[in-house]
Structure 1
Amino acid sequence: MAGRGRPRQFDRDQALHRAMDLFRERGYDAASLGELTHAMGINPPSLYAAFGCKEALFREAVDLYLATVGVHTVRALQEPATAREAIDAMLRDNVRAFTATQPAKGCLIVLGAPHRTAENGAVFDELSALRERMQKRIRDRLKRGIAEGDVPAGADVAAVAAYYATVLNGLSLQVRDGAPRKRLMSVVDCAMASWECLVGQGRA
């Protein structure tokens, strides 16, 4: 009787990783509280005590995703020498990350809440802002390419960034539909074959 009010002990980090994986598979709306607690190995009171609520748990899962799987995108846009190499690396690194586990999982930022509902409005807006932030990172990398001479000065940076962001987001949908890594890499091949046409002729 003395231990009845004692909270259940569990590994919070491990539970959060499991929640992130479920949100990647099911999305915010479809992942029920029962599924989450089962996947995390905890009971509802423990979830509320540790994370507050489902929405707060999802936000922590997004932060974890950005710090783990999502870090590949940021690194790819920073490290390669040219803008073309950076965008190629961004797409390929994400294909590898999406298909690193079986069943393969797409991008939480893209698939977490693809439709706005009355219940997920705040979550949808936050994910939309994160997608826009990613597109801005691509624009900034293209602008850097112009400054460094590997992207023609007349390139339509906004249009090119929107194109490659759309390809990146589309890869997640292909993963959700079961596309194998080889097919996804072929999509990247096609996208990068369009580079000169997109940025204009020149040193690119």
Structure 2
Amino acid sequence: MTDKPVDEAVACSMDAPKKKRGRPKCFSEQQALEKAMLLFWEYGYEATSISDLTHALEITAPSLYSCFGDKASLFYRCIDYYLEHEACPIVPIFEQAKTAKVAFEIYLYNSIQRLIQPNKPSGCMLIVATVNCSEQTQQVQQKILEKRLQEKEKLRQRLKQGILDGDLVPDAPIEEMTDFYATVIQGLTLQARDGATQTQLHKVVEHAMRLWNLFSAK
């Protein structure tokens, strides 16, 4: 009998009762998603191959497909994992901040901490993971665009709440402010990707918040 390498998923299934089918209990889906997420985050969707993923997750391609579906399905799961565990927690920040200005300021500074972390890729995964993708990945790009637009809509809604709360003037240019601060966030991502320090990015936020009064002057 010859020794034959087996991956983690297969090895685990060998210990499980044969009458039970499906994903092995000792396969850590969360750890697998985290490893896959880091690859997509660092190298982007298109540049990350199935071979890269199976090597990082230490499983075979059939096991990967069985657990997560195709590459695109795994990528979408990784995006959701990123938003839940790595991205700036925009909802609680916006809910707890007393004013729209405070909400945006906290959000921007918190985002910088997420954009530059030790031992993790820089930038926002929602922005960098589909940069330079080809036409063959249009569906993937569209889905990520929808995610970005959802995040942008949260900015718009918090500004509208600012008008209702009275800390923004009734005729504040909500659309312009949304576009401006969404652009700032995207710019921070690209600067972080290019090696900017937290100090440099903090200066950008300082200037961006000084412009708040130009938008919302009473």
Q: Share of identical aligned residues, percent?
A: 34
Q: Conserved in 1, the CA contact under 8 Å of 2:40 and 2:129?
A: yes
Cα separation, partners in 2 of 1:97 and 1:44, compared to 1, 3 Å: same
Q: How big is the shift at 1:12?
A: 1.9
**Structure 2 length as normaliser, TM-score?**
0.85
Query: Within 2, Cα distance between the matches of 1:134 and 1:62?
Result: 13
1:92 aligns with 2:109: yes
Cα separation, partners in 2 of 1:180 and 1:8, compared to 1, 3 Å: farther
Query: Within 2, Cα distance between the matches of 1:62 and 1:68?
Result: 10
What is the one-letter code of the residue matched to 2:86? V
Aligned length: 200
Aligned to 1:182: 199
Q: CA RMSD in A?
A: 2.0
Aligned to 2:100: 83
Query: Within 1, Cα distance between the matches of 2:100 and 2:83?
Result: 22
Cα separation, partners in 2 of 1:71 and 1:98, compared to 1, 3 Å: closer
1:131 aligns with 2:148: yes
Which stretch shows the higher mean deviation, 150-159 or 96-105?
96-105
Query: Within 1, Cα distance between the matches of 2:116 and 2:133?
Result: 27
User: In terms of Rg, which structure is larger?
Assistant: 2
Query: Within 2, Cα distance between the matches of 1:89 and 1:190?
Result: 14
1:65 aligns with 2:82: yes
Q: Conserved in 2, the CA contact under 8 Å of 1:20 and 1:61?
A: yes
1:113 aligns with 2:116: no
What is the one-letter code of the residue matched to 1:131? R
Query: Which aligned runs of 4 or more in structure 1 are off by greater than 3 angstroms?
Result: 3-6
Query: Within 1, Cα distance between the matches of 2:198 and 2:56?
Result: 26
Show CA shifts across 1:11-50 (max 9, x none): 2210110111111111111112222222222222221111
Query: Within 2, Cα distance between the matches of 1:87 and 1:158?
Result: 15
- Classify the secondary structure of the residue corresponding to 2:46: helix
Query: Within 1, Cα distance between the matches of 2:167 and 2:66?
Result: 52
Matches within 5 A, 1:155-194: 155-194=172-211
What is the one-letter code of the residue matched to 1:137? K
What is the one-letter code of the residue matched to 2:175? A
**Structure 1 length as normaliser, TM-score?**
0.90
Q: How big is the shift at 1:71?
A: 5.0
- Classify the secondary structure of the residue corresponding to 2:135: coil
1:45 aligns with 2:62: yes
